[in-house]
Structure 1
């Protein structure tokens, strides 16, 4: 099948622009099968050829979405250590999507940029493969993503026209997505996965995102707290469901870390260490979303409960994630913070001096007084 991918994907992407909801679902199911089972390099090449420059924004959005899923599956390290021809083609395509006129395609393009930016050699690859006239704009986009986060996933206007249905089972409601149904999906052995099963999986994933985002974004603060409890429970009992929906779920959760209601804000901060211990390195995909949401405002908060909850969340990340992935977001935030928050972050990085390099030290030193640094480093 790998040898036929380019032609097959091109034909599928043409159908992604259809107005018929069922056709689009089948296209998504087929492309998701490709992401899970076909050669990643060939799959990425087929998507780049078939949809990046398509005139239909729905096709570009579909391309970007499955390309983002592939990148998350393969990982930044493997992608950026690939052959020159592959990286030379991939990075410009992602930066092009991050500036696309379609809001949905742009979201997935920026999601890929944010994910790849955690790699220590990412900036070198940008300089090598992105044209000089585009380089500064791309760097500005990455800086904004690191400091402000990715934001909420845009509403798919075509999908919103009708409710998703499963073949032969009627319409799926968000309230029907209980733990038993999700467990049943996750218990199916990989060897028995077919595109029919994949269609159900995609519908379940879509409805789960809709359900948890609806709770976390509710106007009623009690519902938002219920959404946080639901997320913690899902991380414990159905972690695969959360991991497969990582970016949209944690975009919604990030809003609770930043909201003005102190009860919900504190509850989210106190829940994050539990989530971190349950998901561990799977959270590495969204560290650039979580770190700004944790440290902004909270580490300088005059509310002791909020401050110590934020410190607890940062400590949980350090204890459960690969610390190398945390250095870049910590250093980036330290450049723009002031007061106790800045000192706290520097102390966290200094405490991991076994993995701290010169680049990180320079980042921390920018706009930082010698007296502040002397509290943490021995000169």
Structure 2
């Protein structure tokens, strides 16, 4: 398939510009499949070739949406590694999309830019790959994203409902007809003070968390926990830079600070709850990478505690994608642990979000079944990867019934056989 990818994607994107909703849905499904199963580098290049400069805004939006999924799947470390035909293509393209004339394409461009900006060498990489004339604009966009957040994805239907026609004057927003004049003299100082306060706060907390003295870093963690309790709005308004700084403590080599950060995160999650939804993709990798396989039992337990805190306090639909992605690429007991967590999420989420669960979890299941060695016995929770895979199969089968096997029919024969073998042992 990789050989024909560019032509196929170009044809699909062309179809995405059609008005027929069913065709657009089929295009999205096909491109989703590409994201899951084709070589990421070729998929990225195919999307960029087929859609980056397309004149149709709907096509650019479709391309940007699937490119964003790929960017999040592959990760900033690999995309910005300097590899030929990867970094030199993706970064300028994302910068261009972040300034696109289409609101929706621009949203996905900025989402990717925010994701890539988590790379520790992002500033240097920007200078290398972005033309000087565009550099300041990109920096300003990243700063705005990190201080104010990405915001909600624009919806055409909502904006259409917010407009109504006036005779002879085209279309205007209905809300603007009833809006009272703003008292600019009262509003601007407040906004400026908030900006100043946030900037100062970010600097203070970042300096503490990045201190060379580990005792100062511990104080920084304590300060963050206290702020989450006593001044949560300050933390929420600065959520990206604050948790970028905190992530470094979750990943640091000093085990004392590392453990303290993981334990403190449980308190933070309990205090901020769904307000952390914007930084789930920052937190999950920082928690699970290395820690769930740690030989330090205290660190491993604290990491599991942090994951459980996320599950208890944040809308679990937001955890499904990062959990599935990490379960696919981790190894050892970390892999087992996350597969078990995904199985639990299936039971909770499938009744209200069946399509979402199938879209995210089935690719993980096919991967697990396809790489199964058939060694060891299928046993219960906390056992082998094969045992965890069996639990995941059981959770999905309990929700999907025979349609699980029907979905597997389109997979390679070994996947279908592995699934049937497991289901027979469960019946």
Alpha-carbon distance in structure 1 between the residues aligned to 2:283 and 2:252? 14
Paired residues of 1:332 and 1:363 also in contact (CA < 8 A): no
Q: 2:187 aligns with which of 191, 194, 199?
A: 194
Matched, 1:360 2:395: no
Matched, 1:349 2:342: yes
Give the corresponding residue for 2:78.
none
Alpha-carbon distance in structure 2 between the residues aligned to 1:367 and 1:276? 31
Residue-by-residue CA offset, 1:34-58 (whole Å, 9 max, x unaligned): xxxxxxxxxxxxxxxxxxxxxxxxx
Alpha-carbon distance in structure 1 between the residues aligned to 2:109 and 2:285? 27
Superposed displacement of residue 361, structure 1: 2.1
Highest Rg: 1 or 2?
A: 2
Alpha-carbon distance in structure 1 between the residues aligned to 2:265 and 2:300? 14
Paired residues of 1:94 and 1:109 also in contact (CA < 8 A): no
Alpha-carbon distance in structure 2 between the residues aligned to 1:308 and 1:348? 15
Alpha-carbon distance in structure 1 between the residues aligned to 2:223 and 2:113? 36
Matched, 1:327 2:344: no
Alpha-carbon distance in structure 2 between the residues aligned to 1:240 and 1:349? 31
Residue-by-residue CA offset, 1:63-118 (whole Å, 9 max, x unaligned): x9xx99xxxxxxxxxxxxxxx96425544576689775537247459869x968x9
User: Which blocks of at least 5 consecutive residues in structure 2 are unaligned?
Assistant: 1-94, 117-125, 156-182, 351-356, 373-385, 395-422
SS for the counterpart of 2:233 is helix
Q: 1:104 aligns with which of 139, 144, 155?
A: 139
Paired residues of 1:331 and 1:364 also in contact (CA < 8 A): yes
Superposed displacement of residue 334, structure 1: 1.1
Alpha-carbon distance in structure 2 between the residues aligned to 1:251 and 1:203? 19
- Number of equivalences: 228
Matches within 5 A, 1:154-303: 194-303=187-296
Give the corresponding residue for 2:104.
87
- RMSD of the TM alignment (CA)? 3.5
User: Which blocks of at least 5 consecutive residues in structure 1 are unaligned?
Assistant: 1-63, 69-83, 122-189
Instruction: Specify whether residues 85 and 110 from structure 1 end up closer, same or farther in structure 2 by C-alpha distance, changes over 3 A only.
Output: closer
Give the corresponding residue for 2:16.
none
Superposed displacement of residue 366, structure 1: 5.1
Residue-by-residue CA offset, 1:309-343 (whole Å, 9 max, x unaligned): 00000000000000001101111111110111111
Superposed displacement of residue 360, structure 1: 2.1
SS for the counterpart of 1:322 is coil
SS for the counterpart of 2:393 is coil
Q: TM-score, normalised by structure 1?
A: 0.54
Alpha-carbon distance in structure 1 between the residues aligned to 2:340 and 2:240? 29
Instruction: Specify whether residues 321 and 193 from structure 1 end up closer, same or farther in structure 2 by C-alpha distance, changes over 3 A only.
Output: farther
Paired residues of 2:274 and 2:314 also in contact (CA < 8 A): yes
Alpha-carbon distance in structure 1 between the residues aligned to 2:390 and 2:345? 17
Q: TM-score, normalised by structure 2?
A: 0.48
Alpha-carbon distance in structure 2 between the residues aligned to 1:334 and 1:96? 25
Instruction: Specify whether residues 258 and 197 from structure 1 end up closer, same or farther in structure 2 by C-alpha distance, changes over 3 A only.
Output: same
Alpha-carbon distance in structure 1 between the residues aligned to 2:313 and 2:299? 21
Matches within 5 A, 1:20-31: none
Alpha-carbon distance in structure 1 between the residues aligned to 2:287 and 2:112? 27
Alpha-carbon distance in structure 2 between the residues aligned to 1:332 and 1:115? 22
Residue-by-residue CA offset, 1:214-251 (whole Å, 9 max, x unaligned): 00000000000000000000000000000000000000
Alpha-carbon distance in structure 2 between the residues aligned to 1:315 and 1:345? 11
Give the corresponding residue for 1:172.
none
Alpha-carbon distance in structure 2 between the residues aligned to 1:284 and 1:290? 10
Alpha-carbon distance in structure 1 between the residues aligned to 2:324 and 2:335? 10
Paired residues of 2:111 and 2:150 also in contact (CA < 8 A): no
Superposed displacement of residue 362, structure 1: 2.5
Superposed displacement of residue 271, structure 1: 0.3
